[in-house]
């Protein structure tokens, strides 16, 4: 495959892949926020606004606003915080992989151009 210029090789499909990763990350974040809100509402008995703030704070790694008082609430908050840490890293990965992949293609194209210039 002949690629004389990396800009021509990286077509708009690459931007579609970046957008797809961001969109899937946002969907995963909203889904996780909904699961957390339902759990805080059911197991701890918080209002929807309190359930939202606790879920959002756990998903961003800040920790819960209010400490759960029931055993079920403590178990749910612990499991949800472990899940939140994994989801946070997964979402960052989903959003960064297409950008990293695009950059690696750029580096590969530049190294191929240098090899052609040197006569290899």
pLDDT in tens, 88-115: 888 888 888 877 877 777 777 666 666 6
> What does the pLDDT look like over 13-52, one tens digit per residue?
567 777 888 888 899 999 999 999 999 999 999 999 999 9
Coil, helix or strand at residue 11: coil
The structure's pTM equals 0.71
For residue 47, give both structure tokens: 């209002």
Spatial distance between the Cα atoms of 78 and 84, rounded to a whole number of angstroms: 10
Sign of CA dihedral 30, 32, 35, 39: negative
- Looking at domain 27-98, which of 3.40.30.10, 1.10.287.70, 3.30.230.10, 3.30.200.20 is its CATH number? 1.10.287.70
What pLDDT is stored for residue 96 in this prediction? 82
> What does the pLDDT look like over 46-73, one tens digit per residue?
999 999 999 999 988 888 888 888 899 8
Tell me the domain boundaries of the chain: 27-98
Spatial distance between the Cα atoms of 13 and 71, rounded to a whole number of angstroms: 49
Spatial distance between the Cα atoms of 63 and 85, rounded to a whole number of angstroms: 11
């Amino acid at each position: 495959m002949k690629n004389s210029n990396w800009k021509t090789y990286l077509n708009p499909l690459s931007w579609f892949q970046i957008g797809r990763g961001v969109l899937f990350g946002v969907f995963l974040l909203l889904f996780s926020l909904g699961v957390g809100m339902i759990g805080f509402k059911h197991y701890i008995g918080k209002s929807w606004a309190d359930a939202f703030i606790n879920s959002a704070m756990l998903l961003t790694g800040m920790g819960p606003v209010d400490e759960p008082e029931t055993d079920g609430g403590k178990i749910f908050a612990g499991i949800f915080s472990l899940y939140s840490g994994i989801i946070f890293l997964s979402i960052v990965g989903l959003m960064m992989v297409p950008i990293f992949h695009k950059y690696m293609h750029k580096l590969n194209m530049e190294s191929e151009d240098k090899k052609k210039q040197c006569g290899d």
